[in-house]
Structure 1
Amino acid sequence: MARIEGKQRAYRSPLREESARRTREAVVAAAAEVFLEEGYTRATIEQIAARAGVSRPTVFGVGAKAQLFALARQQVATGGRLTANDEGFQQLLTIADAHRLLEEFATFTATISRRLGALQLVLEQVAGTDPELAQLLDSSQQELLDCARRIAGAVATTGSLRHDIPQEAAADMLWIQIQPANYRRLVHERGWSHDAFERWHAGTMIAALLEPKSR
């Protein structure tokens, strides 16, 4: 009988993989709820397990506490994640009219701030107590700055960027403008509507960065 050479193929069960995916999503969603309700310090693995309806080891199978927070933040941002590689963000960069580009960017970032604002506050409050969370905060800020730089570059390409503002300074101004804390303070603390924030958000960027004739 001929011998079969090579390693035996690992068996894959689509049903088992789908079950594992759903369990992971349930754990991460539960973690997001617990972190928002309890804060990071008071949140426990036991609370997350109870909320997800799984065992404590199952939760640890998804990740430790800091990893769960990072995953929860990422899951909350799904559908509005601001990264330089995001398809929606790439489409923004193709807009040739600077005024519309900044309006669309305002819509994009206001939506993200609405989704991420509460968890971002939790992250800011505890980043100084955990090296992993400090790294997550740093990387999230770098992500915002990278995107701000790309938008500033796209505006400059249209020829509409104010001549007295260097491109890197324009990126810094956008970086400050798109901080989720701005949304949280105006909408959650001062009672602005989302639409009012979005209008202010777009108008401020346009007024600050574009030549008057381009507004």
Structure 2
Amino acid sequence: MTGGGRPYRSALRDEQSQATRRRIVDAGASLFVESGYVPTTIDAIAERAGVSRRTVFTAVGAKAAVLKLAFDWTLAGDDEPVAIADRPEVQRMMQGGDPAELLAAWMAMNAAINRRLATLHHVLVVAADADPDAAALLATTDGQRAEGARAVIGRVADLGGLQPDLDPEQAAAIADVLIDPTLYQRLVGTWGWRFETYAGHLQRTAAMSLLA
């Protein structure tokens, strides 16, 4: 009886620990957006999450770790430890044989990501000016976005879909700029575009700028 109960108790503890992490990360993300990264304290995160200061550190880590998880989970749309590039839907997209369909699907995916991420991305950009940990995280996320653009543009080029006079590295730079969350903030947040208008704009601009 005792041996049979241990896996259940272990799974229950894991679920409780993950639920605590979610509460802490969600609390941190909300406070970062409301108050800014630098003014937000671990004590404030702990109070919002309904846990102790020590629990924040043991469950997640320092404030920079809270921001990183908040960013990663918002980008992915969940807290599963699977990189975007390794997810089945992205693998299927990359294995397709039509470069126009690939580019359109990738732009639509990034539009949806930016809808979730743009506000927190702005927090990170502002925080990077004052906090070295935030600056390092921004550099990492910018690098990851650029590598994603290179991978997709490389696949478009392999399929013969890239404009013949366009260097793949230049094409990746164009794609990277199009999917920058700042563009979503400007067009949707500042100019009041509907999300569908923004997503369609990305797809049309990418097609005209990149495809043969």
2:24 to 19, 22, 27: 27
Please give the alpha-carbon distance, in whole angstroms, between the structure 1 residues aligned to 2:62 and 2:161: 48
Please give the alpha-carbon distance, in whole angstroms, between the structure 2 residues aligned to 1:43 and 1:22: 22
Following superposition of structure 1 onto structure 2, how do residues 143-158 of structure 1 map, counting pairs within 5 Å? 143-158=144-159
Identity percentage over the alignment? 38
Q: Does 1:57 align with 2:54?
A: yes
1:17-63: CA deviations, max 9, x gaps? 22111111111111111111111011111221121111111112221
Following superposition of structure 1 onto structure 2, how do residues 120-135 of structure 1 map, counting pairs within 5 Å? 120-135=121-136
Name the structure 1 match of 2:207: 206
What is the Cα deviation at residue 130 of structure 1? 1.9
How many residues align structurally?
202
What is the Cα deviation at residue 128 of structure 1? 2.5
Name the structure 1 match of 2:65: 67
Q: Which runs of 5+ in 1 are unaligned?
A: 1-11
Name the structure 2 match of 1:15: 12
Please give the alpha-carbon distance, in whole angstroms, between the structure 2 residues aligned to 1:17 and 1:197: 40
Following superposition of structure 1 onto structure 2, how do residues 155-166 of structure 1 map, counting pairs within 5 Å? 155-166=156-167
SS of residue paired to 2:173: helix
Q: Does 1:173 align with 2:174?
A: yes
Q: CA RMSD in A?
A: 2.0
1:149-203: CA deviations, max 9, x gaps? 1111111112121111011111111111110100111001110011000000000
Whichever residue aligns with residue 73 of structure 2, its letter is Q
Name the structure 1 match of 2:4: none
Please give the alpha-carbon distance, in whole angstroms, between the structure 2 residues aligned to 1:154 and 1:15: 43
CA contact (8 A) 1:82 1:143 kept: no
Please give the alpha-carbon distance, in whole angstroms, between the structure 1 residues aligned to 2:83 and 2:99: 19
Whichever of the two has the greater Rg, that structure is 1
Q: Does 1:46 align with 2:47?
A: no
CA contact (8 A) 2:121 2:181 kept: yes
What is the Cα deviation at residue 88 of structure 1? 2.8
Q: Which runs of 5+ in 2 are unaligned?
A: 1-8
